Amino acid sequence: MTASQRRDLPGARRVVVKVGSSSISGANAVNIQPLVDALGAAYARGTEVILVSSGAIATGMPYLQLTSRPTDLATQQAAAAVGQNVLIYRYQAALREHGIVAGQVLLTAGDLENRAHRLNARRAMERLLGLRIMPIVNENDTVATHEIRFGDNDRLAALVAKLIRADALLLLSDIDAMYTRPPQLPDARPIEEVAYGADLAEFEFGSVVVNSVGTGGAATKVSAARLAASYGIAALVTSIDLVSQALTGQQVGTWFAPNPAPVEATITGAVHLATQRTAAGEAAQPAG
């Protein structure tokens, strides 16, 4: 069932949930269990959940004795190779009590641009879902390059939602909603809903930021949410602490209403635009 309003989420057939590095790595690794508990509850209701998770590089950093995010590509790839393994282990440990098995899916921008690779990825995820296995998707940082990458997993999540025909996209971060201005400013107000096609020029979302463990920011979430909405897929932006409330249709976060008459658009154009932005420096770090 296409989710046209928040209250439709509990009955959604298929939902993509994206979580950022800072929410599930370092001291915040404790968030994995409550996140998985909320996803497990949705599974128990019959919803198919695809998790798009950043955090491979951040999770791998301590094992490489790194105290800050590496800047050279080879070390980023090494940290991602180690961290992805640990990250999936943590997810599987949390999923075990729900009787759910995790299935790892690593994608590059090139995979979604190539029709054969794209169809293979869709077929694999469809089969995983049919077997009641939860796909956990991340950018394949061990082979992606600075020039050709998604740049952040918000865009990847929107494209995956399009690829597997999801009913809704949930973008989780450390902030409870989108705000009219950066939330630390005294006159910032939360935005409850964004109508499809609404002019957001009056709002100040800020540029993409890169912290010590991840990439992304308010601007990338707005961009990804609007991309999904253009495909007819509703998007909700909220914090990881509110994931359970979000999936049960409560009034949390910022709701991006879907296009009521979506035009059948290609994924390749969106991937090309994302990689162009990354190459131009909008988000030069790997998403993992």
Q: Is 174 annotated as a binding residue?
A: yes
Q: Is 31 annotated as a binding residue?
A: no
Alpha-carbon distance of 185 to 183, in angstroms, equals 5
**Of residues 244, 236, 254, the one with CA closest to residue 10:** 244
Please report, in tens digits, the pLDDT of each residue of the chain (288 residues total).
567 899 999 999 999 999 999 999 999 999 999 999 999 999 999 999 999 999 999 999 999 999 999 988 899 999 999 999 999 999 999 999 999 999 999 998 889 989 999 999 999 999 999 999 999 999 998 887 665 566 679 999 999 999 999 999 999 988 899 998 888 888 899 999 999 988 887 787 754 443 444 445 788 899 999 999 999 999 999 999 999 999 999 999 999 999 998 866 667 656 655 555 544 444 445 556
Q: Is 173 annotated as a binding residue?
A: yes
Q: How far is CA 120 from CA 104, 127, 129, 162, 247, in A?
A: 14, 11, 14, 15, 29
Nearest 10 degrees: CA dihedral of 228, 8, 40, 255? Answer: 40
CB 169, CB 228: distance < 8 Å: yes
The pTM of this model reads 0.89
Q: Within 13 Å and on the Cβ side, how many CA atoms surround 258?
A: 25
- Domain 6-279 classification at class level: alpha beta
Q: Is 153 annotated as a binding residue?
A: yes
Residue that the structure tokens 């399009």 belong to: 162
